[in-house]
Structure 1
């Protein structure tokens, strides 16, 4: 079976295409990575090159040593992934120390993973540890309404989360732990990677002010679903504000009733 025909690559491609059609990936904006399962690598190992050039990650992720990641390429467009996968996505192997990577398949144009690869790997490292290896997807996009709200909502976890929880009854069920918010920082470097991974220790959704959003999930459906749900809540919020603001809303007691009946651990720190 060709690498591009495998279920995990097809799932990866589907997410990139669905997300582009949502309008979350202008030009080369956004990126996606997936920590590949051992059995998935075994199925395609004969098609992977031997590492030739090891490049520094820029951060140390020892618990990801010898792991393989499917990742979008630097400067590549999400809209082109479905058309020419081998040019736009690739498989990278992490070395035995968790300090360097080598491309072993794909990325035939550009040759390098996304510039956000250090941020992805730091968050994979955190989520692998916290979920006992269950979470495998890190996804970054530029959803319009989330970005718009970072210009009008307070840039703190509690107020940003509470505002989105109020927008639809399902929202606190989908992200009961809340949402983290990183103030504006230069993307692509170790500082924003560290700030994001710190918040990923508590949340599966992190907003980058005036930039976009990061989500972590166990699979492609969960990561895409988190992005989609948060962005829809933001769209409702934008519309409510454009109509003059809230006249009624879901109360904190309503949230507690919801948590009781749906048996979810709602973050009480975000309620009054």
Structure 2
């Protein structure tokens, strides 16, 4: 089977294409990665080449040793992923110690995986442990309405969670654990990766102030749907703040408690404070 014909590759391409179509990925903005299942590796490994040298990841992820990841390329445009996947994405193998990687497929015109690879891999390691291997997707995008909110709301987990929960009844059902927020940091390095991985132990969603959003999920549909929901809620909130900052009515803490009971979700009381 050709790599590009595999179902998991087609799902990855669709997620990239959908994000571009919704305006999440200007130029080379954003990145994505997928931790492949063993049977998926078996499907396409005859297309792999092991000629390239291993390269330092920039961090250590021992619990991902020997795993394979499908990733977007550094400096590559999401709009081009569907047009020429073999030029814009890659499959990388992690070495036996979790310290290095090498490209085994893709990026045929040269290049390297996303500059956010340390953040992706550190967070994959965290979510693999936290979900017993269920989560396989990490997706980062430059969603404009969420970014705009980081200029006008306190950079606080409780504030962002509560304000976005109030925008649509489905929000607390879709992200019941809430949202983590990291003040502005230089992207692409170990420092932001470490801070993100701390929050990923608690949340599936992290907002990077003035930068974008970082989501984890079990598959492409759930991960993309999570990001799309949060960005839509952010757009509604911006409209509300523009028209009437002091809301005339909203979803109350008791409303949320009733919702949690009927939908069988656990909404933490820390987010249900009285304003």
Please give the range of the TM-score, normalised by the shorter of the 2 chains: over 0.9
Question: Following TM superposition, by how much is the alpha carbon of 1:108 offset from its aligned partner in structure 2, in angstroms?
Answer: 1.6
Alpha-carbon contact 1:74-1:110 (below 8 Å) kept: no
Question: Gaps spanning 5+ residues in structure 2: where?
Answer: none
Question: Following TM superposition, by how much is the alpha carbon of 1:109 offset from its aligned partner in structure 2, in angstroms?
Answer: 2.9
SS at match of 1:145: helix
Question: Following TM superposition, by how much is the alpha carbon of 1:158 offset from its aligned partner in structure 2, in angstroms?
Answer: 0.3
Report the equivalent of 1:47. Answer: 47
Alpha-carbon contact 1:34-1:71 (below 8 Å) kept: yes
Alpha-carbon contact 1:73-1:110 (below 8 Å) kept: no
Q: How does 1:135-154 map to 2 (within 5 A)?
A: 135-154=135-154
Task: Between 105-114 and 91-100, report the one with greater CA deviation.
Answer: 105-114
Question: Following TM superposition, by how much is the alpha carbon of 1:110 offset from its aligned partner in structure 2, in angstroms?
Answer: 3.8
Report the equivalent of 1:271. Answer: 272
Report the equivalent of 1:163. Answer: 163
For 1:24 and 1:102, the matched residues in 2 are separated by 28
Question: Following TM superposition, by how much is the alpha carbon of 1:269 offset from its aligned partner in structure 2, in angstroms?
Answer: 1.4
Q: What are the Cα deviations for residues 36-75 of structure 1, in whole angstroms up to 9, with x where unaligned?
A: 0000000111100115310000111000000000000000
Alpha-carbon contact 1:51-1:102 (below 8 Å) kept: no
Report the equivalent of 2:127. Answer: 127
Q: What are the Cα deviations for residues 63-114 of structure 1, in whole angstroms up to 9, with x where unaligned?
A: 0000000000000000000000000000000000000000000012342100
Q: Which runs of 4+ in 1 moved over 6 A?
A: none
Report the equivalent of 2:213. Answer: 213
TM-score, normalised on structure 1?
0.99
Q: How does 1:2-21 map to 2 (within 5 A)?
A: 2-21=2-21
1:190 aligns with 2:190: yes
Report the equivalent of 1:111. Answer: 111
The total of aligned residue pairs comes to 272
Report the equivalent of 1:251. Answer: 252
TM-score, normalised on structure 2?
0.98
